[in-house]
Amino acid sequence: MNTLDCVRCRLEPQVEAHAAEMFTVLSDPAIYEYEGVPPPSMEKLAAGFRRKESRLSPDGNEQWLNWVVRLPNGELAGYVQATVYRSLAAYIGYEFASRFWRQGIGSAAIRCMLGELVASYGVHTFVAVLKSANFRSLGLLRKLGFEPGTARDAVQYGAEIDELTLVMPAGKLVRP
């Protein structure tokens, strides 16, 4: 897994050593307006990061790729992640501390990750599932070129009744 130098940030492969810094980032209550909860402790976050360092699902059928997003000043802003399936579709996710929203950091980091997924992992399709009410995330994904998926996509990627499934073929990826 590569470290990626992006337009506004650097993506570092996530490891256990990032847990203390990321605990602060992920403790921002604004992140959880639509779903999820903050990590219960730094120790549990570190254990989760350690489990993901193999970069593989327990059955070996999926690649789990996680990067922390480091700003030029050295501060961590959040993370981007992808699950790469054997079909070479990638389910993506991300979280950023609210103080970094609407500054172009998220779109730069995600675009950089998507480029890496195509170049190094052969990904041909990107998928994101989000709460329908999450207008910020929806705007970000639309800005990147994602479009509504089909009902089949929603079933395949486990979307719940209150969620949207967005997809983008890798050929639509616009690089900076």
Which pLDDT score, from 0 to 100, does residue 85 have?
95
pLDDT digits (tens, 9 = 90+) for 107-121: 999 999 999 999 999
> Would you list the domain boundaries of the chain?
4-127
SS3 115: helix
**Residue 28 one-letter amino acid:** D
Which pLDDT score, from 0 to 100, does residue 176 have?
56
State how far the Cα of 82 lies from the Cα of 85, in Å rounded to an integer.
9
Which pLDDT score, from 0 to 100, does residue 16 have?
96
Which pLDDT score, from 0 to 100, does residue 175 have?
63
Instruction: Please determine, looking at this structure, whether the domain spanning 4-127 carries the CATH number 3.40.630.30.
Output: yes
Q: Nearest-CA neighbor of 94 among 55, 121, 130, 123?
A: 130
User: Whole-angstrom distance between the N-terminal and C-terminal Cα of the chain?
Assistant: 21
Which pLDDT score, from 0 to 100, does residue 33 have?
87
Q: At CB < 8 A and 24+ separation, what contacts does 30-39 make? A: 30/98, 31/95, 31/96, 31/97, 31/98, 33/134, 34/130, 34/131, 34/133, 34/134, 34/137, 35/131, 35/134
The segments of the chain whose pLDDT lies below 50 read none
Q: How many CB atoms lie within 10 A of CB 128?
A: 23
Q: What is the pTM of this model?
A: 0.93
Q: Is the dihedral of CA 31, 32, 36, 41 positive or negative?
A: positive
